[in-house]
């Protein structure tokens, strides 16, 4: 219980920095290829909800024995989500869906991910769509070369993070501390998702009150 409280408190502190939540360039749209590359690297890292999910995806991929293929499903979904955004198609409640995906990933890790590998990969692809949809907001209206740089950059960054988390998980799984480690990781990731879900719901409520 004490560990859960600490992790939840840490998640709240991190999530309470909206200025850094999703904007590596301070909210400005990338205008050059180098800025597109930088923004693509920054979004999956500075966006704590995205980062938590990617780390969780890497851990789950190792737990179900899918290694690199599951993170690739996530990246493919993210690219599709970006294309959907560029096509001016709206995904309602995207931030809420992102937060829920983080919570689900945390719970799967905490409980040991007793889910079929095929279902996990499908889930990664679907979750990737809403994450990619959110990523694309940063470059809507940018030049094509900048968008391409951004997409390549955030795809590679996600793979590196997921594979790195998976590699660490694989090492830890060989030791006696795995049970405690995966439970702590699961709680931490779920705590991040819970904080962001609360924020998304509150923002939604405030938006509804303004419309009224």
pTM: 0.85
Lowest model confidence (mean pLDDT) among 6-15, 38-47, 86-95, 158-167? 6-15
Lowest model confidence (mean pLDDT) among 17-21, 27-31, 99-103, 168-172? 17-21
The per-residue pLDDT for 24 is: 61
Is residue 186 a contact partner of residue 106, using CB atoms and an 8 Å limit?
A: yes
| Whole-number Å distance between alpha carbons of 149 and 153 | 6
| Strand, coil or helix: 64 | coil
Q: How many CB atoms lie within 10 A of CB 67?
A: 15
The per-residue pLDDT for 16 is: 46
The pair of three-digit structure tokens given for residue 39, joined into one six-digit string = 């923004």
- Residue ranges in the chain assigned as alpha helix (H): 2-15, 18-21, 33-46, 48-63, 69-86, 94-111, 117-136, 144-173, 178-211
* Arithmetic mean of pLDDT, 169-181: 82
| Strand, coil or helix: 172 | helix
For 172-177, the CB contacts below 8 A with 24+ separation are: 173/62, 173/63
Q: What confidence category does residue 113 fall into, taking pLDDT thresholds of 50, 70 and 90? A: low
The per-residue pLDDT for 10 is: 44
Q: Return the ∠ at Cα 67 (arms to 65 and 69), rounded to 5°.
A: 110
Give residue 77's Cα distance to chain centre. 12
Higher pLDDT, 151 or 64: 151
pLDDT at 32 over 90: yes
* Arithmetic mean of pLDDT, 113-141: 91
pLDDT at 149 over 90: yes
The per-residue pLDDT for 205 is: 80
Whole-number percent of the chain with pLDDT over 70: 85
Residue-wise pLDDT tens digits, 61-109: 998 887 788 899 999 999 999 999 999 999 999 999 999 999 999 999 9
The per-residue pLDDT for 26 is: 64
Indicate the average pLDDT of the chain.
85
| Whole-number Å distance between alpha carbons of 16 and 196 | 9
pLDDT at 15 over 60: no
Q: What is the largest CA-CA distance in the chain?
A: 56
| Whole-number Å distance between alpha carbons of 148 and 202 | 34
Lowest model confidence (mean pLDDT) among 13-27, 72-86, 193-207? 13-27
């Amino acid at each position: 219980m004490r560990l859960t409280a600490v992790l939840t408190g840490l998640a709240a502190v991190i999530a309470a920095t909206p200025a850094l939540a999703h904007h590596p360039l301070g909210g400005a749209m990338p205008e050059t290829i180098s800025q597109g590359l930088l923004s693509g690297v920054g979004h999956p890292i500075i966006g704590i909800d995205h980062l938590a999910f990617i780390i969780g995806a890497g851990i789950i991929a190792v737990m179900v024995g899918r290694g690199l293929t599951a993170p690739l499903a996530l990246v493919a979904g993210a690219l599709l989500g970006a294309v959907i955004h560029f096509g001016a198609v709206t995904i309602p409640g995207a931030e809420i869906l992102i937060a829920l995906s983080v919570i689900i990933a945390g719970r799967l890790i905490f409980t040991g991910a007793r889910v079929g590998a095929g279902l996990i990969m499908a889930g990664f692809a679907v979750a990737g769509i809403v994450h990619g949809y959110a990523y694309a907001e940063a470059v809507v209206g940018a030049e094509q070369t900048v968008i391409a740089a951004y997409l390549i950059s955030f795809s590679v960054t996600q793979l590196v993070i997921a594979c790195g988390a998976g590699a660490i998980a694989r090492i830890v799984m060989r030791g006696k501390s795995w049970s405690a480690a995966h439970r702590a990781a699961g709680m931490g990731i779920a705590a991040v998702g819970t904080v962001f879900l609360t924020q998304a719901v509150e923002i939604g409520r405030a938006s509804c009150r303004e419309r009224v």
